[in-house]
Amino acid sequence: MTRMQSCLANVRRWFDSDACSDHISRDSRAFSFVRVLPFIGLHLACLLVLVTGTSAFAVWFAIAFFFIRMFAITGFYHRYFSHKTFKTNRIWQLLFGILGASAAQRGPLWWAAHHRHHHQHSDDPEDLHSPHQNGFWWAHMGWFTCDAGFAMDERRVRDWLKFPELKFINRFDALIPVLAIVAIFGLGEALAAWAPGLGTNGLQLVVWGFFISTVFLFHATVSINSLAHVWGSRRFDTNDDSRNNVWLALITLGEGWHNNHHRWPQSARQGFRWYEIDITYYLLWLMEKAGIVRELNPLPRHIQEETLNRDKRTRA
């Protein structure tokens, strides 16, 4: 492809992830400026807060939307689509697939394919976002600015390709954030008209509720790539450098117990001890009681015993 054709193909991929897929170099780690312009724009849009100002409602809306979508990422993109640690029906998997896509972290199948690759090659030269291979900034956000990060290996998600609705939101993943922006703007304008005492409007609510919330959500999520392999404690001697970190666990609803997770990724629970706060698991447990999800994979007895034995050795 010529340089112009490559630029046009990357623009098309903003809207259709499958566009010109035959021309994607799955091994290329070269920075693709045109393709990541929406990502750059997302960050720059946060500066609009200087124009819109702040209201308590907009800030609380941003916090709420952050945590709802964080749960969609941790509970469903990660523990469901990537590891199948529980079961649910087709309606709920679609709903949380859409919620996850509204976080602007690509589609659920792309996310699961890359995460499964990470577990197979964690911290080795083929791991696309290992801080030990390419440094902090590459692991944090550089890895998805190249064709290797954009491409999806369909062989890793064959189990999900039978669902056309998941393939659709995965292919047109940009559609969901755009619709979220439109919906939030409409809500803000409605509140400006019907509840002016809240002090918000459409643009302000979009800036706080989508742009700022989404940027914080993105950096919290990818901190597991960049920080949870260098900062924290190692309970288990896994084949990578995954670590447990309580601070990362708090901001990511339990994902910071990363060394636990790499020891036994089949578990729906990542906080292996009672004091290891895992909000994602607590919410999944409540959803199981409500009949929304079922068959949460428990932590096997031998892993529980190994956890206790290692903790005893650490204290000795």
Q: pLDDT per position in the chain (316 positions), as tens?
A: 566 666 676 777 778 787 656 666 667 777 788 888 999 999 999 999 999 999 999 999 999 999 999 999 999 999 999 999 999 999 999 999 999 999 999 999 999 999 999 999 999 999 988 999 889 999 999 998 888 888 889 999 999 999 999 999 999 999 999 999 999 999 999 999 999 999 999 999 999 999 999 999 999 999 999 999 999 999 999 999 999 999 999 999 999 999 999 999 999 999 999 999 999 999 999 999 999 999 999 999 999 999 999 988 877 6
**Confidence at residue 190, expressed as pLDDT on a 0 to 100 scale:** 98
Residue in 70, 36, 226 with CA at minimum distance from that of residue 150: 36
**Confidence at residue 267, expressed as pLDDT on a 0 to 100 scale:** 98
Kindly report whether the global pTM for this prediction surpasses the value 0.75: yes
Alpha carbon separation from 130 to 125, 260, 300 (Å, rounded):
8, 18, 28
Residue in 208, 205, 213 with CA at minimum distance from that of residue 103: 213
Is the torsion defined by CA of 226, 231, 233, 238 positive or negative? positive
Listed in sequence order, the residues at least 6 apart from 168 whose beta carbon sits closer than 8 Å to its beta carbon are none
**Confidence at residue 220, expressed as pLDDT on a 0 to 100 scale:** 98
**Confidence at residue 217, expressed as pLDDT on a 0 to 100 scale:** 98
**Confidence at residue 21, expressed as pLDDT on a 0 to 100 scale:** 63
String of DSSP letters for 26-81? TT-----TTTTHHHHHHHHHGGGHHHH---HHHHHHHHHHHHHHHHIIIIIIIIII
CA 83 to CA 2: how far, in whole Å?
Answer: 39
**Confidence at residue 6, expressed as pLDDT on a 0 to 100 scale:** 67
Pseudo-torsion of CA 67, 72, 74, 76, nearest 10°?
A: 160
- Runs of H (alpha helix) within 156-300: 164-171, 175-194, 202-206, 213-226, 246-251, 258-263, 279-289
Supply the angle between the helices 175-194 and 56-71 in degrees, to the nearest 10: 150
CA 19 to CA 72: how far, in whole Å?
Answer: 26
CA 71 to CA 251: how far, in whole Å?
Answer: 11
**Confidence at residue 291, expressed as pLDDT on a 0 to 100 scale:** 97
**Confidence at residue 24, expressed as pLDDT on a 0 to 100 scale:** 66
DSSP 8-state assignment for residue 25 = -
SS3 88: strand
Alpha carbon separation from 304 to 13, 115, 264, 313 (Å, rounded):
45, 25, 11, 14
